Chains A and B, each alone.
Chain A
Amino acid sequence: MRRLGDRLFTLFAGAGAAVALLVIATVVGLVVFRGAGAISWRFFFEQSRAVGAEGGVLYHLAGTFILIATAGMIALPVAAGVGLYHQLYLRSDRGRRSLEALLHALNGIPSIVFGLFGLAFFVQLLGMRKSWLAGGILLAMMILPTVTVAFLEKLRAIPPASVEAAFGLGLRRNHIAWSLLLPQGAAGLVTGTLLGLARAAGETAPIMFTAVIFAGATVPRGIVDSPVLALPYHIFVLAQDSFDPAMTTNMWGSAIVLLMLVITLSLIALPLRLRIHEEARRV
């Protein structure tokens, strides 16, 4: 009887894993098979024609790059500051946990809420109309927790004895931050930023009201009233009118390009991240 229970358990567990694998395979398979035919070198380097129905995604890529680069440049220093503050100035459990809770809260905010906030704040209140900078700021807010948490994980791996020793030597906190914590934690900061950028690249909701338009933009001229094109938004709009076959190829192509971008960013970060993660979790 107990033998039977044991066998059933293994069966269920195996079945679960098999179904999960099936789901993964379906998703990957569909994307790869339908998408592979849609891209070519031209696709990358051409710009959009016929209001997105034809042509390539050059300016969409450019727009996405601008957005995530802005987000990264804002989020990285802020995350570094927050992380260092957490390790150096917050010595009590309570303080640290509160900051972590705050980060988790920020992380939990749905992306559409960022978009809504952006619309009401940047576009309406500040009158910026559509602006790539607003989009970048919103994305930075969104990925801040990702970057900070990765940085903190790496910082935690620094033996507390080293930090204690540094304090004991009478070094000032700024100095400790710059000479000890930052260099040692840099890997986590970089990993976190890459992951954050991967996530930001795929987001539609935060930027769709505040930073992007569907067609007509190339390179932004200023800050206010300077929208850009972006890959995810492009796909989103096309998907809403998905019955036109010409659109379909374009959609798939854009999707593949987006995925390639996200995967590349994630893969660079992956080995480092898995190692930190497994090290932290293994009992």
Chain B
Amino acid sequence: MAFSVLTVVTVGGIFLFLLAGSLEAFRSEGSSFFTGNRWAYRKQAFEAAAMLYGTAVVSAIAIVLALPLAFWTAMFLSEVCRERSRLALKFLVELLAGVPSVVYGLLGVLFLRTWMSSLFERLEWDAYSGDTLLTAGVLLAVMILPTLTTLFDDAFRSVPSKFRDAARGLGLTRAETAMSVVTRQAIPGLIGATLLALGRALGETIAVFLVVGRADNRLPRPGQIVQSFIDAGQTITSKLGGAETNIAVGDKLHTSALLALGLTLFVVVVGMTLFADLLRRRVAGEAR
């Protein structure tokens, strides 16, 4: 039963390891690691603001696209669908969840990229290629859709039927019951699900790496934010998944900077996951 200690050691160990390894980079750069926009490893400059921006944008696009779709699909699954078709649809959604990210990356590279590129042309937007933050966001949206839908469905289903019975018994329509009563009761679960999906979006490497463009130091001024969506960019994960990680071997500061990126990702994602956990536990507690 010391295996459980092993679990603690693993999580804690990784965290401490990253922390220790990052110290040198933090010492060298200070807070400008997060706020500065200059990443040039050859010049030993490691300011990562552009990557933080890229990570945030790509994930935000993914959530904004996937959330409404997942909400309505989950509504359909839990409030409209009949039992047999429900299980079939659920199975299909779960199928999509099991597809490895590298396959999504492949689809992104071979199809999505060209589609986006022709879309930009059609709309006469000034985009250099199909490798953009937007493309990565769209691909990510497809990837988190199954998880988000399943978790939303779980949240809706865990609302006890007594609430629906009471509302319908008063004469509320199915829509009114679903939107006012069920959704309201499911809110902690919905938020938790969103946080979990966001965590996965933030941590996704392979698919994003292939379609985001991998262009460093792209940090737009306030007026240029929308333009930056159709430009290439860089996220924390696409940087870590790239050539620099192997190049950095042997260079202490460089390695430390990359570990610092990893630490940032770790803290944000695990923090989000734990918070989501807290919320989902509240849902379960109320349902008893």
Contacts and interface: CB of A to CB of B under 8 A. Distances in A.
Please say whether the chains A and B touch (CB closer than 8 A): yes
Contacts of B71: 16
A81 B102 contact: no
B237 A112 contact: yes
B218 interface: no
Given A204-B206, A239-B105, A109 B179 contact: no
A109 B76 contact: no
Nearest to B272: A108
Contacts of B142: 23, 27
A262 B273 contact: no
Contacts of A258: 100, 102-103
B98 A263 contact: yes
Contacts of B193: none
Interface string A241-283: 0100000100110010011001100100010001000000111
A62 to B, nearest CB: 18
A202 B79 contact: no
Given A6-B175, A209-B245, A262-B100, A81 B69 contact: no
A114 B262 CA distance: 9
A112 B93 contact: no
Contacts of A263: 95, 98
Interface string A203-222: 11100110000000000000
A153 interface: no
B191 to A, nearest CB: 15
B274 interface: yes
Contact of A235 (B77, B106, B199, B203): B106
A259 B262 contact: no
B227 to A, nearest CB: 26
A20 B69 contact: yes
Given A20-B69, A20-B145, A104-B274, A113 B18 contact: yes
Q: What secondary structure prevails in chain B residues at the interface with A? A: helix
A27 B175 CA distance: 31
A116 B175 contact: no
Interface residues of B, number: 90
A162 interface: no
A21 interface: yes
A58 interface: no
A39 interface: no
B140 interface: no
Interface string A4-40: 0110111011111101110110011011001000000
A113 B265 contact: yes
A175 interface: no
A141 B11 CA distance: 9
A183 interface: no
B170 interface: no
Interface stretch (B45-53, B121-129, B153-161): B153-161
A13 B203 CA distance: 30
A274 B87 contact: yes
A9 B2 CA distance: 52
B273 A105 contact: yes
Nearest to A263: B98
B175 A110 contact: no
Contact of A13 (B76, B105, B149, B205): B76
Interface stretch (B27-35, B36-44, B107-115): B107-115
Contact of A112 (B145, B179, B196, B240): B240
Most-contacted residue by chain A among B149, B176, B258, B266 (CB, 10 A): B266
Contacts of A21: 89, 92
Most-contacted residue by chain A among B80, B96, B98, B149 (CB, 10 A): B98
Contacts of B92: 21, 24
Contacts of A205: 205-206, 241
Contacts of B3: 77-82, 85
Given A20-B69, A20-B145, A110-B266, A104 B98 contact: no
Contacts of B145: 20, 23
Given A6-B175, A110-B202, 18 more contacts: A2-B176, A5-B173, A9-B75, A9-B174, A16-B70, A24-B93, A78-B7, A82-B4, A100-B277, A102-B8, A105-B270, A107-B273, A124-B255, A199-B98, A235-B102, A235-B105, A281-B154, A281-B157
Interface of B: 1-4, 6-8, 10-11, 14, 17-18, 21, 68-73, 75-77, 79-81, 87, 89-96, 98-107, 109-111, 142, 145, 149, 154, 157-161, 173-176, 178-179, 196, 199, 202-206, 210, 237, 240-241, 245-246, 249, 255, 258-259, 262, 265-266, 269-270, 272-274, 277, 281, 287
29 contacts: A5-B175, A6-B173, A13-B72, A13-B79, A17-B72, A17-B73, A20-B69, A20-B93, A24-B95, A27-B96, A27-B99, A84-B1, A85-B4, A108-B270, A109-B270, A110-B202, A110-B265, A116-B258, A117-B14, A120-B21, A120-B255, A202-B98, A202-B102, A204-B100, A209-B245, A235-B106, A255-B102, A259-B100, A263-B95
